[in-house]
């Protein structure tokens, strides 16, 4: 029977380590739960000379680790484990020590140990998090800061895990809905590239020998084929250059503003992004309000949940109006991208003194709307995709077969 090592927390917040024989890892977890212990680390034990369990030493951070970075799943696991340990009564420093040993992602593990060292040197948790802006987003850091100030760090980490899990689910649903269109478009582009590079040139030679008059569609296809054959390296370099130029341009506000404006105005995808951001904004707003954060600071911190610059600018305008004494619902009504439903629910919440509850309902509503839109995304895309494929296939067929028919007519006449 396999031997497993474990590290767990008891009801007093003390760490317990040991080994246990079981068939499966989940059996060990069930056994720990029956012993009133909270599992932190469970794994297959190695065998030393005396048969005792030992852990494999953690590897250092390699170039590949840094290139792969920290996945969303790693952040979710980190937040969940922080919440679990803090709820069990473990202090923050001990929590970071435990996670620094058992996190699977080496980059995040190193960051956690650096945060632990900063706290030992007297820094606050939020300041230690702020030293790693590329790892922890503005929203992430602010949620931690609110939890630190209110004394509810466990709730803050639990909420952050919920928020990240929601984001992960939305990403996965969008990927699933667009997977088929991506495969079809990729296959179509590969087929067009193959035709342009290898098939069409052979027909060009055939048409040249036949000396038939070529229709416009055929001449256009031949021109495109010659362009692909002559400048394929230039085309690839141009595409790579445009991608790099776009990434460099994201450092400038004007470029980001233009990108986000186009994104908001896109059919189907524009309204979908607005729904996602409204759900995220409303949920963050509800949590901060419930935590006792004042309205101006809540609006400022909530803007971190909006990745779109247009929406952030409108939220900043709302915050400025509220600071000048305008009612929150009235200030929201002045901004075109904030729907009437949000404004009306905020108005009801302000009047009843239950703004947090109303914003939670708004978030639930937009989560439902987002799910519905994503489920229908493939249905909306497929007709456009079929139309595009039909036009491409029809154009290529017309360009190739029309001169062939002319050649057959010439041969019959001859």
Rounded Cα distance, 183 and 283, in Å: 35
**Are 131 and 144 in contact, with CB atoms under 8 Å apart?**
no
Q: What is the mean pLDDT of residues 367-378?
A: 86
Q: What is the mean pLDDT of residues 335-348?
A: 89
Residue extents of the structural domains in the chain? 3-44, 63-164, 269-375
- Options 1.20.81.30, 1.20.120.80, 1.10.10.10, 1.10.1240.10; CATH of 63-164: 1.20.81.30
Residue 157: pLDDT over 90: yes
Residue 21, strand partner residues: 3
Q: What is the mean pLDDT of residues 277-297?
A: 87
The most confident of 20-24, 125-129, 225-229, by mean pLDDT: 125-129
Please name the helix (run of DSSP H) or strand (run of DSSP E) that holds residue 26, with its range, or none. Answer: helix 25-34
The most confident of 122-131, 189-198, 228-237, 379-388, by mean pLDDT: 122-131
Please name the fold of domain 269-375.
Receptor-associated Protein (1.20.81)
Rounded Cα distance, 69 and 84, in Å: 24
201-205, 294-298, 329-333, 336-340: which has the minimum mean pLDDT?
A: 201-205
Residue 48: pLDDT over 50: no
Would you give the DSSP letter of residue 196?
Answer: I
Grouping H, G, I as helix, E, B as strand and the rest as coil, residue 10 is: coil
Please give the mean pLDDT across all residues of the chain: 83
Would the pTM count as exceeding 0.75?
Answer: no
Grouping H, G, I as helix, E, B as strand and the rest as coil, residue 8 is: strand
Q: Tell me which residue has tokens 């380590």.
A: 17
Write down the pLDDT at residue 410.
Answer: 66
**Are 110 and 97 in contact, with CB atoms under 8 Å apart?**
no
CA neighbor of 298 nearest in space, from 311, 310, 285: 285
Confidence class for position 59, pLDDT limits 50, 70, 90? very low
Confidence class for position 10, pLDDT limits 50, 70, 90? low
Residue 54: pLDDT over 50: no
Residue 399: pLDDT over 80: yes
Question: In terms of DSSP H, where are the helices of 35-91?
Answer: 63-68, 72-87
Write down the pLDDT at residue 240.
Answer: 94
Rounded Cα distance, 43 and 70, in Å: 22
Residue 37: pLDDT over 80: no
Q: What percent of the chain has pLDDT over 70?
A: 90
Q: CA 65, 156, 77 angle in degrees (round to 5)?
A: 30
Other CB atoms within 10 Å distance of the CB of residue 151: 8
Residue 88: pLDDT over 80: yes
Write down the pLDDT at residue 191.
Answer: 83
Please give the structure tokens belonging to residue 135: 């790892």
- Options 3.10.20, 2.50.20, 3.40.50, 1.10.10; CATH of 3-44: 3.10.20
**Shared fold status for 3-44 and 63-164:** no
Confidence class for position 408, pLDDT limits 50, 70, 90? confident
Confidence class for position 334, pLDDT limits 50, 70, 90? very high
Write down the pLDDT at residue 182.
Answer: 84
**Are 264 and 307 in contact, with CB atoms under 8 Å apart?**
no
Write down the pLDDT at residue 51.
Answer: 38
Each residue's pLDDT tens digit, 230-267: 887 898 899 999 999 999 988 888 999 999 999 999 88
Q: What is the mean pLDDT of residues 57-81?
A: 72
Q: What is the mean pLDDT of residues 337-355?
A: 88
Please give the structure tokens belonging to residue 73: 């799943």
Residue 414: pLDDT over 60: no
Confidence class for position 380, pLDDT limits 50, 70, 90? confident
Q: What percent of the chain has pLDDT over 90?
A: 17
């Amino acid at each position: 029977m396999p031997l497993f090592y474990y590290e767990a927390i008891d009801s007093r917040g003390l760490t317990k380590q040991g080994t246990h024989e079981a068939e499966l890892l989940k059996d060990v977890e069930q056994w720990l739960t029956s012993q009133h212990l909270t599992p932190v680390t469970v794994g297959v034990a190695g065998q030393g000379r005396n048969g005792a369990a030992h852990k494999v030493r953690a590897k250092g951070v390699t170039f590949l680790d840094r290139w792969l970075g920290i996945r969303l799943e790693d952040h979710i696991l980190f937040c969940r484990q922080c919440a679990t340990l803090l709820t069990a009564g473990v202090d923050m420093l001990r929590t970071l020590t435990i996670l620094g040993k058992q996190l699977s992602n080496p980059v995040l593990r190193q960051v956690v140990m650096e945060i632990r060292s900063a706290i030992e040197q007297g820094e606050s948790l939020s300041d230690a998090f702020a030293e790693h802006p590329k790892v922890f987003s503005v929203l992430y850091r602010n949620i931690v800061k609110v939890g630190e100030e209110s004394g509810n760090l466990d709730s803050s980490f639990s909420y952050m895990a919920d928020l990240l899990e929601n984001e992960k689910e939305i990403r996965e649903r969008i990927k699933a809905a667009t997977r088929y269109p991506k495969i079809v478009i990729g296959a179509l582009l590969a087929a067009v590239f193959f035709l342009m590079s290898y098939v069409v040139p052979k027909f060009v030679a055939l048409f040249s020998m036949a000396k038939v008059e070529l229709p416009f569609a055929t001449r256009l296809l031949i021109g495109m084929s010659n362009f692909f054959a002559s400048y394929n390296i230039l085309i690839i370099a141009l595409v790579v250059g445009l991608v790099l130029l776009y990434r460099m341009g994201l450092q400038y506000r004007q470029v980001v503003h233009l990108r986000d404006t186009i994104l908001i105005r896109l059919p189907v995808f524009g309204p979908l992004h607005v729904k996602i951001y409204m759900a995220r904004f409303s949920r963050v707003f509800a949590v901060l309000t419930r935590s006792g954060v004042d309205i101006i600071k809540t609006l400022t911190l909530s803007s971190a949940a909006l990745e779109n610059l247009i929406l952030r600018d409108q939220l900043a305008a709302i915050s400025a109006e509220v600071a000048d004494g305008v009612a929150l619902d009235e200030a929201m009504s002045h901004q075109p991208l904030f729907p009437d439903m949000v404004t009306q629910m905020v108005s009801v919440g302000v009047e009843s003194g239950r703004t947090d509850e109303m914003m939670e309902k708004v978030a639930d509503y937009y989560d439902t709307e987002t799910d519905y839109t994503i489920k229908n995304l493939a249905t909306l895309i497929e007709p456009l995709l079929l139309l595009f494929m039909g036009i491409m296939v029809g154009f290529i067929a017309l360009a190739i077969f029309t001169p062939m028919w002319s050649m057959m007519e010439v041969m019959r006449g001859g």
